[in-house]
Structure 1
Amino acid sequence: MLFTLSSLVLASFVAAPCLASSQAAFSIPGADDSDNYEFKWPVQNVAIIGAGVSGLMAYRELTRAGLQAHIFERDRVPGGNWYYSEETPLDAPIPSADIAVGDFVPSLPPAGVELPYTEEYKDNYADVKRGHRGPKPLWDSLHSNAPAPIQQITDFPWPVDINWELSHYQLGKYLRSFASFLGLNSNDENPDTSYNTRVERVDKYLDENGNEHGWKLLLKKLVQTDYGTLKATWYTQVFDAVVVATGRYNAPHIPPIAGLPEVAQVFPDRLTHSRQYRHPEPYASETILIVGASVSGAEISRNLNPFAKKIYQSIRPDKSDAEHIPVSALLGRLPSNTTIVPEIKRFLPPTGSDFSAVQIELVNGTILTGIDRVIFATGFRYSFPFLPQYHNSSIGLNDTVPTGELQPIVTDGTHIRSLHLDIFYIDDPTLCFIDMNVGMQSFTYSEYLSVAFSKVWTKKAFLPSRREMWRMHEERVKDRGGYGRYFQFLGAARTDENIRYFMAWLNTAAAKYGGRKVDSLPRGTSDIGQYWIKARYGDLNFRFNFSALQPLGVVDTALDMLSEEERSEAVYDAVFGDWW
């Protein structure tokens, strides 16, 4: 199913709840107290992995509910994906790493040592530090694709005179300000925060009787010493529950294209993932092939356009029947002089020392040569290396493991599974994930998720039984046509539906058990979205003739059948997608 503005209010602009006639309201969990999930141990102390907007919001709601919470952040400051640095991530491996280590390879202390254990790096430790902190996939001139009145925490608004178009610098400072407001910034020396600390492993904690009673985290903290060395300390801490707030942009995906690994061995510096892009100047007067045309592919193409000699944009056919923003709609963001080409079939074996002589064969038989660099704007996969036991890449996309075995959360990295409401791990809801969906605004959506697990863990709201959560999950899988890349996609309609669900569940529980209630999003956000589109994108012409592009196999028929007005609306709708 494809979305346009005529059929879909933008996910970023969900306003007051209204029930569409085609949608059925959720049942409210915990309506029958006799069939609630029973936790094996009480929750009082919670670990939060990540200090982006989701982690900060989780901390606020957990502590508001009377729980203790501790944030572990691998970087040196809060802000998550919006903390920019000139330092780039480590090169993305070609082919892509196994999904269990797609983000990073856990650094473990030597077997058998007593913890805490310390090592000191004296020379050549830059890559150790870089891999530990994981620089984010931002470039210097990046601006958000949502306006300020939408991309803000509801009770922590921007100044009224702020420009609606937000740079990543502004967003980074905004989140650090929010962290300071909560007393969680890196210079606040709050004992509830551990910066420069990466979670290497999360395992069930067994008490003295051998019974499960929480989670044990293996942690690695890096400290720059005064005498020029880097000190690493491994230690453990035990918590009753864990919130994973690491975001979705950590494990780079590079598609398995025939011949690509062989070319990468000879020309590793000519092939990069979009997460390593920072400035256009190094690409001046070069011919660039960008693979992918989602948000990062389109915006990097625009950024490079004044500098590059020529830009090719390779686009894979959009054939999915799942609900999503069509890739065709993103073409409206590409500069008019961009040359769109179809999917890459293979890289031919290199025959010399000049990368520009490498031949790249497309699926329609065209051979590209004269390319100076290739940028893979092919997105990211879900990966949580600190939870290897919940990764299973051996099963197929829609395969399952037998009942009674450990149910995976990650399989091929395109989606996450085994979660109730995309939050609670069904077999043990003391493990939660926050803001793992796409097609929604995390600055506002995270509040509902945070209130949900805060109330559940303090017995101010209840989950249905494990059996019922699995039934609901399996029903959702069936409704979405199986697992896959778009399984976590919400869009405006589903975001609106979910917010109604959280309001009904949590506010009904508040009336019965006490605790805070949640509100709908402010009215007027839909109007703001329309103003934003007209102001920022109103002067864009519909640059591409879909009928001419269709023989290349990059355009879906459904979009081509729409009217010109509807197609233009689809372009505007797609700029708010958050597949980077």
Structure 2
Amino acid sequence: MGSLSSDSKVESGPDLGNIKDVAVIGAGISGVVSAAHLLRAGFNVTVFERTGVVGGVWDYEPQPDRDPPFPNVRPPSPNWAEVEKEGLSSNEVALIHGPPNPCYAGLKNNIPTPIMRSSLLQWPEGSEDLVDQKVVHQYIKDIAHIHNVYEKISFHTRVESVSKPDGDDKWTIVTSTLTRTKSGHTLTKRTWKFDAVVVASGHYHIPFVPDVPGLPTWKRLFSDRVTHSKQYRTPVPFSNKTILIIGAGVSALDIAKETSHLGAKIIQSRRESKYDVLVSRLPEGVERVAMVAEFIPDTVDGESKSQPLEPGQAIPGKVVLEDGKVLEGIDHVIIATGYITSYPFLGDLEQPLTPWEDADEKVLITSDGYITHNLHKDIFYIPDPTLAFIGVSHLVSTFSLFDFQAQVAAKVFAGQAQLPPKSIMQEEHRERKARFRPGDRFHSMFAAEDAYIDKILNWVNRDLTKAGVDPLPGMDEVWKRNYKVFQQRLKGTSDS
């Protein structure tokens, strides 16, 4: 029987060095819990938030973001200099520099509070399973206050570049801070150095607008009548109107519910997916139809500019569906087809023209605008794990899972838990991609995040035990019990 020679070496995991200073990008729930856990672990933390508040998508602002391009199907190239255009008011600059989030006034959580919570704070006593946006927003702000995150946040500061040149042992971050003044505003650039970076910027910034024939024409001609769901704020403008909603996700469901209460007639068009909201959850009277094939405006000779419509006047044109059915008399079109994942500050790690199948072992974002490539356990950037991502995973218990991921990142950054060798992480990632099929969502943990958590706990706690450190507790019994019920609902074994 053979034996290893004395000079044989077992490949070890990556050496992350002595991490002290950590940047966190974003002050939504992912950024707040990341900062809190890192602070508890003794790191020097700086949080960059481009708006003026914590809370991310749970911060309601009546002012919506600007319209996206029609169509908008891949990650856009950043245009950081846009805020410096001559003639812009301070309000216009603020809208570009720190765009509003997609939160609408009636937003509620769709994950029950018993399984959507941080380990850092319980929900207030007596909280219902589903609460409104103000309650959720306050919960995030309370975590930030209690765990001293606020004093670490640079507000109105957007991150424009994150890079680590070859041979450098620190990340270089370039930021722009907007400051209002009596005479207008100033923009201040600054360069920072960090040992590690946590990207917690979320997924809900860049609307995905499908490339449907005729849709750009309808948007140009009837601009106020054709919008993305990111612009939706309240149902009032849609009272007693006929609305075509494209998409079958949660925002489509919420908009259908809110507007139908005010007498709107809802037609929902979508391309079938196993992730569609069940038709049984839609309000009574909603008509679910095939995907739109084409938008056709009525012919208007010489008209290429916006056509103002009279109140009560339907859009003059017809919508042809993929099954040949024709819709007319539509008052509003709402595109609720989701968002493009983009990290514009990561430079050439984002390659919007590269198909996802052609991603190399360095790229993070490709043309699909969904998969974040080359991550170990959806957290650590394999080529350099001092770059971590919190909140990439989809169809999860959000607050709970992101809090858990933040705890894991803190343990790895502290050197208490060791990542596998780079070759093993790469092989695991390749195998995961090999299992991926069109129509799936790469980061979805649909009804399976408990298994994900258990695998990570086995790895991390083995190392923590060796280091003489208390193990991570994972999810408590209340979470596990409620997650089982939620899991059964997701799998369709119980009615929702």
TM-score by length of 1: 0.77
Q: Secondary structure at the match of 1:201?
A: strand
User: How do 1:162-561 and structure 2 match up within 5 A?
Assistant: 162-185=127-150, 190=151, 192-205=152-165, 211-225=167-181, 227-318=182-273, 325-327=274-276, 329-352=277-300, 353=307, 356-401=315-360, 406-481=362-437, 486-493=441-448, 495-525=449-479, 527-528=481-482
* CA offset digits 1:28-74 (Å, max 9, x no partner): xxxx9942233375322111001111111111222222221110011
How far apart are residue 527 of structure 1 and its match? Answer: 4.6
Whole-Å Cα distance in 2 between the matches of residues 299 and 417 of structure 1?
31
Over 3 Å counting, the alpha-carbon distance change for 1:105 and 1:395 in structure 2 is same
* CA offset digits 1:474-532 (Å, max 9, x no partner): 111123347x7500001232x11111122111111111123342113121435546889
How far apart are residue 240 of structure 1 and its match? Answer: 1.3
Over 3 Å counting, the alpha-carbon distance change for 1:532 and 1:397 in structure 2 is closer
Whole-Å Cα distance in 2 between the matches of residues 33 and 420 of structure 1?
23
Asked if 2 retains the 8 angstrom alpha-carbon contact of 1:120 and 1:229, the reply is no
Over 3 Å counting, the alpha-carbon distance change for 1:84 and 1:380 in structure 2 is same
Over 3 Å counting, the alpha-carbon distance change for 1:485 and 1:212 in structure 2 is farther
The range that moved more, 124-133 or 430-439, is: 124-133
How far apart are residue 400 of structure 1 and its match? Answer: 3.3
* CA offset digits 1:253-302 (Å, max 9, x no partner): 01110111122222222111111111111112221101112111011101
Whole-Å Cα distance in 2 between the matches of residues 450 and 100 of structure 1?
28
Residue 96 (structure 1) aligns with: 72
Whole-Å Cα distance in 1 between the matches of residues 351 and 86 of structure 2?
34
Whole-Å Cα distance in 1 between the matches of residues 284 and 9 of structure 2?
60
The residue type paired with residue 411 of structure 2 is K
The range that moved more, 452-461 or 382-391, is: 452-461
Whole-Å Cα distance in 2 between the matches of residues 258 and 346 of structure 1?
5
The correspondence for 2:52, drawn from 51, 68, 76, is 76
Residue 133 (structure 1) aligns with: 98
Over 3 Å counting, the alpha-carbon distance change for 1:478 and 1:533 in structure 2 is closer
Asked if 1 retains the 8 angstrom alpha-carbon contact of 2:75 and 2:352, the reply is yes
Greater relative contact order (Cα 8 A, min sep 6): structure 1 or 2? 1
Over 3 Å counting, the alpha-carbon distance change for 1:567 and 1:469 in structure 2 is closer
Asked if 2 retains the 8 angstrom alpha-carbon contact of 1:295 and 1:330, the reply is no
Asked if 1 retains the 8 angstrom alpha-carbon contact of 2:74 and 2:340, the reply is no
Q: Secondary structure at the match of 1:411?
A: coil
State yes or no: 1:148 paired with 2:103.
Answer: no
Whole-Å Cα distance in 2 between the matches of residues 485 and 302 of structure 1?
27
* CA offset digits 1:295-340 (Å, max 9, x no partner): 110111010002244211112122xxxxxx542x521221121122
Residue 64 (structure 1) aligns with: 40
Whole-Å Cα distance in 2 between the matches of residues 490 and 347 of structure 1?
35
Whole-Å Cα distance in 2 between the matches of residues 421 and 521 of structure 1?
17
Whole-Å Cα distance in 1 between the matches of residues 450 and 336 of structure 2?
29
How far apart are residue 170 of structure 1 and its match? Answer: 0.3
Over 3 Å counting, the alpha-carbon distance change for 1:530 and 1:204 in structure 2 is closer
Asked if 2 retains the 8 angstrom alpha-carbon contact of 1:254 and 1:376, the reply is yes
Whole-Å Cα distance in 1 between the matches of residues 423 and 367 of structure 2?
22
TM-score by length of 2: 0.89
Whole-Å Cα distance in 2 between the matches of residues 97 and 64 of structure 1?
40
Asked if 2 retains the 8 angstrom alpha-carbon contact of 1:213 and 1:240, the reply is yes
How far apart are residue 428 of structure 1 and its match? Answer: 1.2
Asked if 2 retains the 8 angstrom alpha-carbon contact of 1:122 and 1:228, the reply is no
How far apart are residue 234 of structure 1 and its match? Answer: 1.2
How far apart are residue 413 of structure 1 and its match? Answer: 0.5
How far apart are residue 371 of structure 1 and its match? Answer: 0.7
Residue 161 (structure 1) aligns with: 126
Asked if 2 retains the 8 angstrom alpha-carbon contact of 1:100 and 1:384, the reply is no
Q: Secondary structure at the match of 2:31?
A: helix
The range that moved more, 409-418 or 524-533, is: 524-533
The residue type paired with residue 389 of structure 1 is D
User: How do 1:93-132 and structure 2 match up within 5 A?
Assistant: 93-96=69-72, 98-101=74-77, 105-107=79-81, 124-132=89-97
Over 3 Å counting, the alpha-carbon distance change for 1:157 and 1:430 in structure 2 is same
Whole-Å Cα distance in 2 between the matches of residues 84 and 262 of structure 1?
31
Whole-Å Cα distance in 2 between the matches of residues 533 and 395 of structure 1?
35
Over 3 Å counting, the alpha-carbon distance change for 1:34 and 1:514 in structure 2 is farther
Over 3 Å counting, the alpha-carbon distance change for 1:496 and 1:40 in structure 2 is closer
Whole-Å Cα distance in 2 between the matches of residues 515 and 133 of structure 1?
41
How far apart are residue 350 of structure 1 and its match? Answer: 4.3
Asked if 2 retains the 8 angstrom alpha-carbon contact of 1:298 and 1:330, the reply is no
The residue type paired with residue 238 of structure 1 is K
Q: Secondary structure at the match of 2:193?
A: strand
Asked if 2 retains the 8 angstrom alpha-carbon contact of 1:100 and 1:388, the reply is no
Residue 4 (structure 2) aligns with: none
* CA offset digits 1:386-437 (Å, max 9, x no partner): 1131112323232234x6xx43434321211111111111111111111111
Whole-Å Cα distance in 2 between the matches of residues 479 and 368 of structure 1?
39
Over 3 Å counting, the alpha-carbon distance change for 1:64 and 1:249 in structure 2 is same
Asked if 1 retains the 8 angstrom alpha-carbon contact of 2:49 and 2:154, the reply is yes
Q: Secondary structure at the match of 1:200?
A: strand
Whole-Å Cα distance in 1 between the matches of residues 75 and 223 of structure 2?
21
The residue type paired with residue 222 of structure 2 is F
Tell me how many residue pairs correspond in the alignment: 478
Over 3 Å counting, the alpha-carbon distance change for 1:97 and 1:196 in structure 2 is farther
How far apart are residue 86 of structure 1 and its match? Answer: 1.0
Over 3 Å counting, the alpha-carbon distance change for 1:171 and 1:228 in structure 2 is farther
User: How do 1:17-28 and structure 2 match up within 5 A?
Assistant: none
Whole-Å Cα distance in 1 between the matches of residues 37 and 76 of structure 2?
30
The range that moved more, 242-251 or 147-156, is: 147-156
Whole-Å Cα distance in 2 between the matches of residues 284 and 533 of structure 1?
36
Whole-Å Cα distance in 1 between the matches of residues 333 and 57 of structure 2?
24
User: How do 1:560-575 and structure 2 match up within 5 A?
Assistant: 569=494, 572=496
Whole-Å Cα distance in 2 between the matches of residues 454 and 518 of structure 1?
11
Asked if 1 retains the 8 angstrom alpha-carbon contact of 2:271 and 2:291, the reply is yes
